[in-house]
Amino acid sequence: MTQVTIQDSKRQKDKNSKLVRGMILGAIIGGAVSMLDSTTRSKVTKGAAGIKDSTVGIVQNVKDNPGEVKEQFVSQFNNARNTLESAIRDAQNIYESLNNGVFKKITEVASTSQEALNNVKEAAGDMKDVGAKVADAGSGLTDPITAENDTRTSSASTVNFDSSIPSQSVKAEDSAKL
């Protein structure tokens, strides 16, 4: 198993090295072909001369005025450092304002939401209790009254119950009057 892995690794390295060789060879050939054009040659020559002149100018300036070049470099570095420090302070201020303002409000809203959810759950539990009590009361009203439950008013209750329900004949008479 490890021999197969080692062989695969060698094959991969061979492929990679061929790729790199091919890329380098292609760049060399491409550069040589592009130099056949006189316009490209003149642009490359001018560009190289410009790079050479600017490099020579910088080196000469450093040789002639090393203290001045050093001061310019230090000044540019300090300006960059001050700008970076200012950006860091601004970022810290933004972070603190977010932390103290927005995130604090988010935490408060989350806490309030949790309290509201707990209140709703508590109210739901209370409503279940009320519903159970109403169901018990309803079943107590629908149960027939027996002598065991209420012996003193069983006949009166029945009379009141019967008198509270209009009879069919009364409804027929009321309909006839209309």
Our count of domains for the chain comes to 2
Q: How far apart are CA 104 and CA 22, in angstroms?
A: 60
- Same structural domain, 88 and 43: no
pTM score over 0.85: no
Write the pLDDT tens digit of every residue in 98-126. 878 777 788 888 888 889 999 999 888 88
Opening angle at CA 146, ends 141 and 147, nearest 5: 140
Q: Does residue 4 fall inside a structural domain?
A: yes
HSE-CB at 163 with a 13 A cutoff on CA atoms is: 6
Given a contact cutoff of 8 angstroms between Cβ atoms, the answer to whether 154 and 145 are in contact is: yes
Range of the domain at 7: 1-64
Last residue of a domain, one of 26, 44, 64: 64
Write the pLDDT tens digit of every residue in 62-95. 889 888 888 998 999 999 999 999 999 999 988 8
Write the pLDDT tens digit of every residue in 12-51. 666 667 888 889 999 999 988 888 888 988 998 899 888 9
Residue found under tokens 């760049």: 27
- Same structural domain, 94 and 122: yes
Q: Does residue 54 fall inside a structural domain?
A: yes
- Same structural domain, 110 and 56: no
Q: Does residue 36 fall inside a structural domain?
A: yes
Q: Which two tokens stand for residue 22?
A: 């091919």
Given a contact cutoff of 8 angstroms between Cβ atoms, the answer to whether 36 and 42 are in contact is: no
* pLDDT of 153: 47
- Same structural domain, 83 and 28: no
